[in-house]
Each structure stands twice: as structure tokens, then as C-alpha cells.
Structure 1
Amino acid sequence: MKSNLNIKNILFVVVIVLLIIPQTRQPIQIWLNKGLALFSPSVTAKKDQQVIKDYNWILKSKTGHLINLEDSKGQVVFINFWGTWCPPCIAEMPSMQALYKDYKDKVEFVFISDEDHSLSNTFLKEKGYTFETFVPRTAYPKIFNVTSIPRTFLIDKSGYVIIDKTGAANWNSKAVRKTIDELLAEDL
């Protein structure tokens, strides 16, 4: 019995040490978040859905091109706030890339990072992600009250926030794809 207790104590100390060391902390956190990202995000109940009233939001692409979210009005929009340093963000990126690959011509994808474009684009290139990331140039619309990342919004053609998810999720799930397909089929 005492031997089992000592082994458990040693394992606990090893895990704590691995989480303290910067070189091992992030890979462990990403691995743990990949487990959490196996689950699909939930659709917000109709009565709790907020609507975007102000689409006026200027974003800058890596090439310096300015876009306004206003141009996305009337479309299905997928907005993700993320960072290269964020383990849950990194954990959910493969599912977002798969979703983007299949829906990029039907859904407006807006990936937002406050980091310098050189840093975020180097990260995307190294990982083989093909979506573009943007940096905000004006204040977020009030509806995007982002206090932690990742934070992802799926918005219908009428401006209702159908999904509002904080934390890692499986964005390439059958449930998310079904929701997007239904939103794309809706008329304004």
C-alpha cells in the first residue's frame, strides 16, 4: 500500500514539474485541450440569441488590405478570436481548417488575432493552415465581449449569434456542419 502511495506522489511531482517547465507546459496543455475539443459547440437557444446591430468593424489583412465586417452583412459568418500562444486555440485549429477547407466559398471566415501579422502568419504557414487572419483596426462591436480566447461566433444571415463558444471545440463535427448547412439554406 505504501509503495502505491509513493508512486502516486512521484507521478504527481513529475506532472507538476513538467507543467512548470515552459518547453513541456504548452505541448501538455495542447494535448489536454485536444481532449476537450472533441466535443461540438452547442447552438444557443433561440430565446437567448443576440443579434448584431452594428457590423461596422474595420480589420486589416496581412497584405494591409482593410475590410469592414459590414461587407459580410447578410451572409453566414464564422468569427474566431485566437492567439499563437494559446493552447486551446492551437488544439481546435485542425477542426477549423477542415471546416474552412469545405466552406470557404459559402461562409465568411474571419480569424482575429491581436498579434503582429508576421507572428500569426508564420504560425499558420508552419502548421499548414490556409485561412487568413486579421488584426482589428477599430473597436469590436459591443456584442463581441471577448475576455478570453479562443472565442468563436457563428452568425446567421440575419445577424443572430447562433453559436457563441469560449474554449476549444470540434468545429468540424457533423452537428456544426448540419447547423451551417441549415443556415446557408435559409432565405433572408
Structure 2
Amino acid sequence: MKLIKRNSINILFFMLLLTIIFVPDAKAFLLRGLMTIGFYTPDPVQTVSSASDLDGIKFKDIKGKLVDLGDLKGKVIFLNFWATWCPPCRAEMPSLHKLFTQFKNDKNVVFIFVDADGDLKKSAKFITDRQYELPVYAFASEIPKQVFESALPTTVIFDRQGRLSFRHEGMANYNDQKFVDFINKLKNTK
């Protein structure tokens, strides 16, 4: 008993560490706290490439409706690749939700949140359970490696001309005024 009392702080620290390691929501909570204090802020520097051929890059929603990126030319396209089991993906979801709510009624900006696991029912339930309004999609075609290779989360933004304007692998706080201004700049640039 004396051994337990003397080592209670160590035991509590070890239990906390195990919780963070093995419970995705606990790790996401910790990462979200780091984002709140300024870590993981994306640098919204426009890195414009030549116009990409987005035709044939397709995604489908829970109802089976297909979206072809080639049909979205003239709009800013915000793609986020994520998975329900991914703690960094979970950590950035609140900031993505806030960004989405700012632009959800803007017809010049399209958001596509792609479940990298392909289990659309599980992803839709995850989004609904957390009361997010994010439009969830799954892959419906091959995706070029310059858009998405394998790192989760990955965020990609195409400007109105179909040029790759932003690509970020890893979590980030997208509920940042600089990032909102960046999307508005893309939206207003022809």
C-alpha cells in the first residue's frame, strides 16, 4: 500500500499517457488544444500550379450521387481527406466545421470531405453523432498522386481555374482569419 501511495503520481501519469495513446478522442482532444494555442496553423500561401485536368476525378456521397471535379470548374474546390480512426483528423474537424459553416451558402465554394477508408455509412454516422454538417464523400475513381497519396489528413484546394492552389498534409486549424481571407481571395480571383 505504501508503494502505491508513493508512486500515485507516476501511476496517474502512466494511465494518462496510455489513455492518450490508445483512445483516439483523447489524443484528438490533446491535439485540438495544441491547435488552439497556435500550433498547426496552415500557411495559406497560394502555390498556384498550372491548371489541372480535373475531369474524371469523382467522388460519391451517401446517397450515391456522383461529383466530378471537372464539372466544378469556376468554383473554389476544398478537398479534405480523412478517416474516423485518425486522431489528427478528429482534432481538425471542429475547425473544418466552422470554416464550412462560413462558406456553406456560397455557390462559388465547394467542400468535399472524403472518407479515405471508403466506409461511407460509418463516416456519415461519425459526422452526425458529432453534429457536424460536413458533406461526406467516398472515392468513386482513381485519384492522382498530386491530389492525394496516402497521408491523413490531407487538404487540397483548387482555384476557380482548376489550378492546385493549396496542399497540406497533416492536421491544421482552418478556422483562422488568414485562411478565410485566402479562400475569399481565391473566390474573387478569376
Query: Which TM-score band applies after superposition, normalised by the shorter structure?
Result: 0.7 to 0.9
When normalised by structure 1's length, the TM-score is 0.83
SS state of the match for residue 79, structure 1? strand
Query: 1:18 is matched with which residue?
Result: 19
- 1:133/1:61 CA distance change after superposition, 3 Å: same
For 1:115 and 1:169, how far apart are their aligned partners in 2? 23
SS state of the match for residue 169, structure 1? coil
- 1:10/1:135 CA distance change after superposition, 3 Å: same
Query: 1:60 is matched with which residue?
Result: 60
Unaligned runs of 5+ in 1: 1-5
- 1:66/1:185 CA distance change after superposition, 3 Å: same
Instruction: Indicate yes or no: 2:88 matched with 1:83.
Output: no
Instruction: Indicate yes or no: 2:41 matched with 1:40.
Output: yes
Unaligned runs of 5+ in 2: 1-6
Instruction: Indicate yes or no: 2:139 matched with 1:175.
Output: no
CA-CA distance at 1:8 after TM superposition = 7.1
Letter in 2 for 1:40: T
Query: 1:108 is matched with which residue?
Result: 110
Letter in 2 for 1:175: K
Aligned counterpart for 2:168 among listed residues 165, 173, 179: 165
- 1:172/1:27 CA distance change after superposition, 3 Å: same
Percent identity over paired residues: 32
SS state of the match for residue 111, structure 2? strand
Instruction: Indicate yes or no: 2:70 matched with 1:70.
Output: yes
- Give the superposed CA RMSD: 2.2
For 2:52 and 2:110, how far apart are their aligned partners in 1? 18
CA-CA distance at 1:159 after TM superposition = 2.4
For 2:144 and 2:96, how far apart are their aligned partners in 1? 23
Query: 1:3 is matched with which residue?
Result: none
- 1:135/1:45 CA distance change after superposition, 3 Å: closer
Give per-residue Cα distances to partners, 1:16-41, cap 9 Å, x unaligned: 43345x4xx22331122213433421
SS state of the match for residue 162, structure 2? coil
The worse-fitting range, judged by mean Cα deviation, of 54-63 and 141-150 is: 141-150
Instruction: Indicate yes or no: 2:30 matched with 1:27.
Output: no
Give per-residue Cα distances to partners, 1:86-112, cap 9 Å, x unaligned: 111111111111111111223110110
For 1:164 and 1:157, how far apart are their aligned partners in 2? 15
For 1:182 and 1:76, how far apart are their aligned partners in 2? 10
Instruction: Indicate yes or no: 2:133 matched with 1:130.
Output: yes
Letter in 2 for 1:85: W
The worse-fitting range, judged by mean Cα deviation, of 6-15 and 150-159 is: 6-15
- Cα contact 2:53–2:162 (8 A) shared by 1: no
- 1:36/1:163 CA distance change after superposition, 3 Å: farther
Query: 2:49 is matched with which residue?
Result: 50
